[in-house]
Amino acid sequence: MCHDCAGTAPGGESPSRRAFGRLIAAGTSLAALAAVAGCTPGSTPPQSGTAVPTASPSESPSPAQGPATSPPTTAPTTAGTASASASPTGAAPATSAPATPPAAALPGRKYSLTDPKSPWVLVNKHRPLSPATFVPPDLVQPAVRLAVSGEAALLNSTTAAAAERMFAAAAAVGVVLTLASGYRSYATQTATYNGYVASRGRAEADTASARPGYSEHQTGWSFDIGDGGGACSFQPCFAQQPAAVWVKANAHRFGFVVRYPWMEHPVTGYFYEPWHLRYVGVEAAGDMRKRGLATLEEYFGVEAAPAYR
């Protein structure tokens, strides 16, 4: 589900994504979710170790040639990490923040979790941007393949440079990535969110779109990737496309994490978005991967934010 994608009209969201979110909320089995998403029944999103000879899940030049999905596996569970099997419904329970966050042991400079100009700024349903109308001072258009124009093609300069390196590395192994949605201003997010409210009501809008001032896209540190061939854009089955598989396995090398991981919505507040990447720096992204930590909330020792207060 594209929780705050300006490129998808509120009334035009695909049935598969609406059904996916409702089934997860109802605790439906993973096999049923895969069937609704149009993916291989009984399979889970490819793991980071999956070999990908061609493309990454977000932009596969030839979707028909995508690799077969791996058999069901379970992501490693660490202290404080939510597990998909931890409750009868299959949804991971929200967990409290560890007394000493893993990031505290990270050597080198520490960054602010509240300054929107910081690569570690943590934005979720409990932590709005301050100021709410923040605009990155260094927005630029990265030299990558674009699927959008205007403000959506912009990122802050640090994220743009890292994205250029990542897109080039993917292209070197035959993976085509596109920038599907980048910066989103407060005004744009307001229009997007209000459109969801008008068509679905506030309660459902809050499961699909970030409220104005609560979107990572407004920081310039996040963006959505797309598939070069357009397969499964902003749909659950995107996770099985070669582009998404490549990004999941390699994004940390360029300082990115998949911000809304599989079955971590009780922590992040949003359903799985294999297309949504967030820059936190190579050191932090690599450390998260090494420790097997899935969410920024856990890594930075911040409470789960499943819903707005």
Q: What is the mean pLDDT of residues 207-221?
A: 95
Q: What is the pLDDT of residue 3?
A: 52
Tell me the pTM: 0.74
pLDDT averaged over the chain? 78
Q: What pLDDT is attached to residue 11?
A: 43
Return all residues near 33 (Cβ < 8 A) that are at least 6 apart.
20, 23, 24, 236
Pull the structure tokens for residue 303. 């409470």
pLDDT number for residue 98? 62
Is the pLDDT score of 6 beyond 90? no
Q: 3-class SS at 227?
A: strand
Phi, psi of 93 (to 5 degrees): -75, 150
Q: What is the rounded average pLDDT of the residues 65-88?
A: 33
Mean pLDDT of the 114-118 span: 97
Q: Mean pLDDT: which of 83-92, 236-245, 276-285 is highest?
A: 276-285
- Averaged pLDDT for residues 275-298: 97
For 144-177, what is each residue's pLDDT tens digit? Answer: 999 999 999 999 999 999 999 999 999 999 999 9
Question: In angstroms, what CA-CA distances link 41 with 33, 38, 91, 108, 271?
Answer: 8, 8, 19, 45, 19
CATH architecture of residue range(s) 58-299: 2-Layer Sandwich (3.30)
What is the model's pLDDT at position 229? 82
Q: What is the DSSP string of 180-215?
A: EE----HHHHHHHHHHHHHHH-HHHHHHHSPPTT--
Torsions phi, psi of 32, nearest 5?
Answer: -65, -40
Higher-scoring residue by pLDDT: 140, 71: 140
